[in-house]
Amino acid sequence: MPQRERMELLEEAKKMEMAKFRYILPVYGICQDPVGLVMEYMETGSLEKLLASEPLPWDLRFRIVHETAVGMNFLHCMSPPLLHLDLKPANILLDAHYHVKISDFGLAKCNGLSHSHDLSMDGLFGTIAYLPPERIREKSRLFDTKHDVYSFAIVMWGVLTQKKPFADEKNILHIMVKVVKGHRPELPPVCRPRPRACGNLIRLMQRCWHGDPRERPTFQEITSETEDLCEKPDEEVKEMTRDLDVKTPPAPKSEAPVPAPLKRASAPTFDTDCSLSELLSQLDSGISQTLEGPEELSRSSSESKLPSANSGKRLSGVSSVDSAFSSRGSLSLSFEREPSTGDLGTTDVQKKKLVDAVVNGDTSRLMKILQPQDVDLVLDGGASLLHLAVEAGQEECVKWLLLNNANPNLTNRKGSTPLHLAVERRVRGVVELLLSRKISINATDEDQWTALHFAAQNGDECSTRLLLEKNASINEVDFEGRTPMHVACQHGQESIVRILLRRGVDVGLQGKDAWVPLHYAAWQGHLPIVKLLAKQPGVSVNAQTLDGRTPLHLAAQRGHYRVARILIDLRSDINVRNLLAQTPLHVAAETGHTSTARLLLHRGASREAVTAEGCTALHLASRNGHLATVKLLVEEKADVLARGPRNQTALHLAAASGHSEVVEELVSADVLNLADEQGLSALHLAAQGRHAKTVETLLKHGAHVNLQSLKFQGSHSPSATLLRRSKT
């Protein structure tokens, strides 16, 4: 290894060993083969990687900002101050529980304010977007703490927006010119719905990237402002401060050291032929080549500068709370443990606290109390915490649970996954979060519905597109054989129908009882969808269901006049029969949809067509008491003498059912006293059914009375009284 690189490696290790602190990445030793530093493994990786991976909960963003500020404050409060000079998301690492560890001190200067004579990139080093304007203007300018403050502001912007600064600008020189002219990353990308505290953080960020370094706050001031965003658990603070009382002797009260220009420390001299272990032995910083244990790691020159926890004061801008976390090696407490006797699994108390935190959207609390074994906890209703968060619409809690690897494929007692619930409730942000995970996108619930079925039902275009982009199946069927296309047609969701058509959905796919999407659209009267589907290649407007009904039958049955008209215009067979030999006119007459019946008659429907039962349209309308339809059929010259079931006329059917107004319309000398196959007239049938008003109507028009009519009446019934009076 070249001598210069070896010296740089040792210099960085020396700085990191000096900076033992909770939010600084610790060095455990130096490896000779391959040559490198041995440091704590950071499971989550860099902040840069995390910000690009998925949306983060706001409480976690605030915590990251605060912990970074505290870590930088510690570096600046060392004696002499240690300037990082390359602070950016790539150099901020996170452990398994998303706590900050500042790393990469290769460019750091431990001699306070200094000139730099070994700058790269024409005198500029680090990432250009994070360089303060004064460094760009004056390459020979003294380094000071305000350099890191500016870089921290750009880091804050990246955390709040989860974007890279000046990402659209590819030319480094253009970025430099913009920064010097006072341009900063734009604020609009700071996300949709954000907490109120975000406003204060934005104002702090703007102060930190001020063009005049003198106007930028110190990290002591920054940590004071960010501390409220990330309160520590009381139990954790007490425990750590007690531990600090034992380990750290009381220190005298002192003010924060004011950074002052210092001469650059001379680099140690080494024999160029000595081994790496010999080089290490010559370092005064006490770097350990091997890790002796956590107690060994906790000893550093920085520890002796920490105050006693009961001093109640801040030393070097580090709060008493943060000081309590600064000296216990590099590993941190990540969970707020609940006291328990057996500690076997999750206690009822812990479960209740978790549920309350999720339901109330208390992400900060959830971050403190959630333990690894609780992430996929099954609640009383069979749901998981993730189900609960989705149902409660708590997007921030969903983010935290997913960051902690909650299983998005767990089902509740109804077979629903969190994705089902999110799509059903149209929570777009949560849908996006879930789809970013490895998820079973075609999972079905107890009704065999997929998430795409819910999106189709709700007309949720955004969720539909997101699901289809993730290759959701468009042909999955529910327990009634309905695909998402059937469901969209049934619920009148034209936009979803169009999306599915563009995806090449099979519009002729049959569901239960051979219903195709066009049947559902006609049945529900969704005219635009009927027009859209009827014009698709391969679609038959005369497609029949299992019982023989066409879309025109269904439209006539529900009285959807405009749908019936468009189907007729598209050459639907107007006299097609179902399994009961009913034409659309029979169906319209039976259900009393007069306008649709008129349309069918004017378009050539047969007035005298007979069903399998032997009924004409007039028979069906009369039997069901649809006066307007009866009038229409009579006006259209329907045969009132036509015989139907049991050789009965329309008047017989109306009288037997007691429809006196229809009887009034149909009564005439020709049909008044006609008998059916049992020899009964309309009067007989009305009397048999004890329909007094109908009897009165028939008598008024001269119906013949005889003993056969009387035998159907009780001696005191109104109709019997009328018949006796008429007889006498």
**DSSP secondary-structure letter at 190?**
S
CA angle 193, 195, 200 (to 5 degrees): 125
Query: CA-to-CA distance for 601 and 595, rounded, in angstroms?
Result: 10
Residue located via tokens 């030999």: 581
Active-site residue (options: 59, 86, 374, 478): 86
Q: Where are the beta strands (DSSP E) in 595-684?
A: none
CB 236 within 8 A of CB 211: no
455 CA to centre of own chain: 12
589 vs 466, 525, 592, 629, CA distance in Å? 46, 18, 5, 6
Q: What are phi and psi of 384, to 5 degrees?
A: -100, 175
> Dihedral, CA atoms, 350, 351, 354, 357, nearest 10 degrees?
-100
> Dihedral, CA atoms, 630, 634, 637, 639, nearest 10 degrees?
70
Amino acid at 312: G
**DSSP secondary-structure letter at 46?**
E
Among 71, 80, 77, 150, CA closest to 112: 80
**DSSP secondary-structure letter at 24?**
B
216 vs 186, 200, 208, 234, 515, CA distance in Å? 19, 15, 5, 32, 70
Query: CA-to-CA distance for 375 and 384, rounded, in angstroms?
Result: 8
Query: CA-to-CA distance for 673 and 680, rounded, in angstroms?
Result: 9
Strands 35-39 and 92-94: unpaired
Among 146, 134, 160, 130, CA closest to 207: 146
In sequence order, the β-bridge partners of residue 315 are 318
In sequence order, the β-bridge partners of residue 378 are 384
Number of H helices, E strands in the chain: 36, 5
| Radius of gyration of the chain from its Cα atoms, rounded to whole angstroms | 42
In the residue annotation, 284 being an active-site residue is answered as: no
Query: CA-to-CA distance for 312 and 354, rounded, in angstroms?
Result: 33
Query: CA-to-CA distance for 299 and 106, rounded, in angstroms?
Result: 22
Query: CA-to-CA distance for 587 and 234, rounded, in angstroms?
Result: 74
Query: CA-to-CA distance for 381 and 392, rounded, in angstroms?
Result: 14
- Terminus-to-terminus CA distance in the chain, angstroms? 133
Structure tokens at 337: 């443990």
Query: CA-to-CA distance for 665 and 673, rounded, in angstroms?
Result: 15
CA atoms within 13 A of residue 386's CA, in its CB half-sphere = 26
Using DSSP's 3-state secondary structure scheme, residue 158 falls into helix
CB 420 within 8 A of CB 445: yes
Spatial CB neighbours of 350, under 8 Å, sequence gap ≥ 6: 338, 340, 369, 371, 374
- Catalytic positions are 86
